[in-house]
Structure 1
Amino acid sequence: MTDDLERTAVMAGPEPSADRPKRPRLLYIDNLRIALTALVVLHHTAVTYGNIPAWYYTEPAKDGSGLLLDVFVMFNQAFFMGFFFMIAGYFTPASYDRKGARPFFRDRLKRLGIPLLAFLLLIRPLTGFGGYADLRDAFAERGKALPYWLYYVLSWDAGPLWFVEVLLVFAVLYALVRRRGARRLLGSAGEPGRETVRAPRPLRPLAVVVFTVALALATYLWRFVVPNDTYVPFLGLPTPSYMPQYASFFVLGVLAYRRGWPQTLSRAAGRVGFAVATAATLAYLPFVATVKTGALDGHGTWQSLVSSAWESTFAVGMVLGLTVFFRERLNRQGTTAGFLSRHAFAVYVIHAPVLVGLGFAFRWLHAPAAAKFALVAALALPLCWAVAYAVRSLPRADRVL
């Protein structure tokens, strides 16, 4: 892969050296990253104006359109971060093969650790200042002072960069497994700097079904102890209840690289993926609309089992469908798409203060939740890429972002 693909959090590593041929660039994965990054921005914009108070700045909906935003968030949450982890897993073996264990770890620490620290130390203070002001005023009414440093320490978390935090852990675990010789599971290309080309192995439908069922059961069992409303303080994990999906999709991405699955998926597999995801959703929506509050969260309820089954089926179906669709229809790039791709990871890192700033800027506007979402989203997407361009123009910033 080229440096444009692998310099981000989900794909990191230098260009192939001149003494071996370059691998063909998968432009459709570039374009997938653009779409998923845009979904992240839209997702957090929807949280801002919906009924899920899980963002730095929120305006809880006062009309029924907020429910539409909540449904949009539910669909996104079911698959898009797992898809990010799968893409990350896909590009991990090649990076390790070229570098070896120690250089691979140093590279991941630089490309993931530096953005994480930059968010914690520079971006997060700006993003969370509005919340601090509100809490400071509440303390003042009680005759107590709340210095910012105390608020910062007590509310410490990685924000959206929890993804980078978890991905760094996955990368370290991958390196440890490779060093301990689990080559039949994750594959090995021999000595660092040399890549072995293997014949693609088509992905069998039965394997997809078995994986989906296993993921649903693992998610259901995991939520006995880590229900949907769980938040991990300090680490800042907003959705630890999805960890079975994140981990398994990362491993699936590693296997997909070794076995060439993305290139062997048939067009029919993509159509079936979309069809199954749609059918499962049509069956699930009436159920979720009538279930009692909290019944889907976990704790071993049968409703939680249904929820886990839908999430797993929807996620696998969407990944199959989108992979084939982008491969067949969007496997090309012009100047604009190339620009969007190069700055996608930077957008992920900096989008939080952009959305918070826009939220405060339009705080005065009284409008239906969906209307404010549409307005802010239309401004946020180009503004995020513009700010990302400015950030990556700083000296040496493009080596990390």
Structure 2
Amino acid sequence: MTNETVLPEPAADSRPTTGTRTSPATGPAAGLRGRLGYLDNLRAALTVLVVAHHAAITYSNLPLWYYTEPRDNASATGFVIFLAVNQMYFMGFFFLISGLFVPGSVDRKGPWRFFRDRLIRLGIPLVGFWLLIRPLLAIGSWPEYRKAGLSPLAFFLAGSDPGPMWFVEVLLVLGLVYAIYRSVRGRSLDQQRSAVVPDARVGNRMIMLLIGVLTVVTYSWRLVVPSGTYWPIVGLPTPYYLPQYVFLFVVGLLAQRRGWFSALTVRQGWAGLVMALVAGVPALGFSTVHGPAYLASVFCEQVFAVGVIMALLVLFRTRINRTGAVSRFASGQAFAVYVIHPLVLVAVARLIAPLAAPGVVKFAVLVVIAVPVCWAAAYLLRRIPGVRRVL
């Protein structure tokens, strides 16, 4: 999500290093140069999906957002399906992309300078959200706290989880683990760079192995952390998806060395689409069952997630790979949008609250207004001296 974790300086990461043989089509250097198109565009598109996802919660009858409105059952059911489909893959996709350029950043900076920079670029927005944005989002409930005789401090501390910034929390932990790993491994930067695997291929067996491992680990994990679990202390809303987040982050780490993103074929992209279409309905339909049937549900979840990710990677790489002023602007503000979008969504939702319309109409109005406002606000925020350093 951040410029550092997803889009490092192209000169440092894209040039081949001594002793590394790369292929024009599939080598790591080619894949990193291609990022300036399709990964920028993909990153912006996924950020729009995050905004739409949280806009849908507003009208879903699920009390999982800072501001919600009760809606008719038909709209609410549609939103719940939309949310469930997104949840199966989109945050895992963010972790995959976030892991892609981490090895190159550690190559340039070393493990501990890398993590120090992560603390600045991720830690400051995390603390800023908790101190400034979170209380503003809860301001509508202040009259109830005051009526109950609670102090402003009690109001400030209530609901003190980081909200959507849980993603940043987890990225910080994963970055620390990787920094420790690279430090303990003790290899020089030249040795690390020479470990790049040229002419990579992504075989179908490799894909099925990933799905199989994800299924077994996720199923075992959910015996302890069942679906619907919420971790209030760290604010992690979906800890039952944690294996997918970690595994896809690791896949991103490996993909940087092996050029896997560039190696996916168009045929595999179409296969991913078929996988997603076939597995999507069973994954949703079996989600409430138990026993062996639940294992099948978890399997379908992972097939759907991997299939959608494959299809989108190939689609954006082959069809949506050009950059212009608009795409650079959209990608450049993406992390800032992620940080501030709850404030914009809640403000706009309250503004259009008097509108008498079905939930799906209000959702569309909210998204159409909030998306450009988010990007405009992010742009203005990043023009403040020093803000661009962390956003």
Match of 2:19 in 1: none
Question: Any idea what the Cα deviations from partners look like across 1:354-386, whole Å, max 9, x if unmatched?
Answer: 011112112222221111111111111111101
Cα distance in structure 2, aligned partners of 1:269 and 1:75: 21
Is the CA contact 2:89–2:304 (under 8 Å) kept in the aligned structure 1?
A: yes
Q: Which residue of 2 aligns with 1:316?
A: 306
* Aligned residues between the structures: 376
Alignment of 1:323-338 (within 5 A): 323-338=313-328
How many Å apart are 1:198 and its aligned residue?
3.8
Alignment-mate amino acid for residue 392 of structure 1: R
Alignment deviations for residues 120-163 of structure 1 (CA, whole Å, 9 cap, x no partner): 11111111212344x426xx3xxx31223212223111111100
Out of 85, 91, 97, the residue aligned to residue 81 of structure 1 is 91
Structure with higher helix content: 2
Equivalent residue number for residue 155 of structure 2: 151
CA distance in 2, matches of 1:126, 1:195: 49
- SS state at 1:190 partner: helix
Aligned residue for 2:180?
176
Aligned partner of 1:382 among 345, 360, 372: 372
Write the distance in 2 (CA, Å) between the matches of 1:162 and 1:12. Answer: 21
1:225–1:242 Cα change, 3 Å: same
Q: Contact conserved, 1:108 with 1:171, CA < 8 A, in 2?
A: yes
Who is 1:270 aligned against? 269
Q: Does 1:11 align with 2:6?
A: yes
- Give the RMSD, CA atoms, in angstroms: 2.4
Q: 1:12·1:111 contact (CA, 8 Å) conserved in 2?
A: no
**Per the alignment, do residues 147 and 270 of structure 1 end up closer, same or farther by CA in structure 2, a change over 3 Å counting?**
same
Q: Distance in 2 between matches of 1:361 and 1:340?
A: 25
Asked whether the equivalents of residues 273 and 317 of structure 1 are also in contact (C-alpha less than 8 Å), the reply is: yes
Cα pair distance change 1:53/1:195, threshold 3 Å = farther
Q: 1:189 to 1:274 in 2, by over 3 A?
A: farther
Write out aligned runs for 1:99-114 (5 A).
99-114=109-124
**Residue 8 of structure 2 contacts residue 101 of structure 2 at CA under 8 Å; is this kept in 1?**
no
Kindly tell me: are residues 317 and 243 of structure 1, through their superposed partners in 2, closer, same or farther at Cα, counting changes over 3 Å? same
Structure 2 distance, partners of 1:247, 1:132, is: 37
- Kindly provide the CA deviation profile for residues 199-250 of structure 1, in whole angstroms up to 9, marking residues without a partner as x: 1320111111111022112111111111122111131111111000000000
Q: Please tell me the residue identity of whatever aligns with 2:333.
A: H
- Asked if the contact 1:11–1:88 (Cα under 8 Å) also holds between the matched residues in 2, the reply is yes
Partner of 2:190: 190
Residues 295-314 of structure 1: matches in 2 within 5 Å?
295-296=288-289, 301-314=291-304
Gap regions ≥5 residues in structure 2: 17-28
* Corresponding position of 2:359: 369
Q: TM-score, normalised by structure 2?
A: 0.90
Report the equivalent of 2:217: 218
Match of 1:392 in 2: 382
Pick from 103, 121, 139 the counterpart of residue 129 of structure 1. Answer: 139
The Cα shift of 1:196 comes to 6.2
Measure the CA separation in 2 of the matches of 1:258 and 1:165.
Answer: 25
Residue among 67, 80, 84 paired with 1:70: 80
Q: Which residue is 1:245 aligned to? A: 244
Q: Is the 8 A contact 1:350 1:388 kept in 2?
A: yes
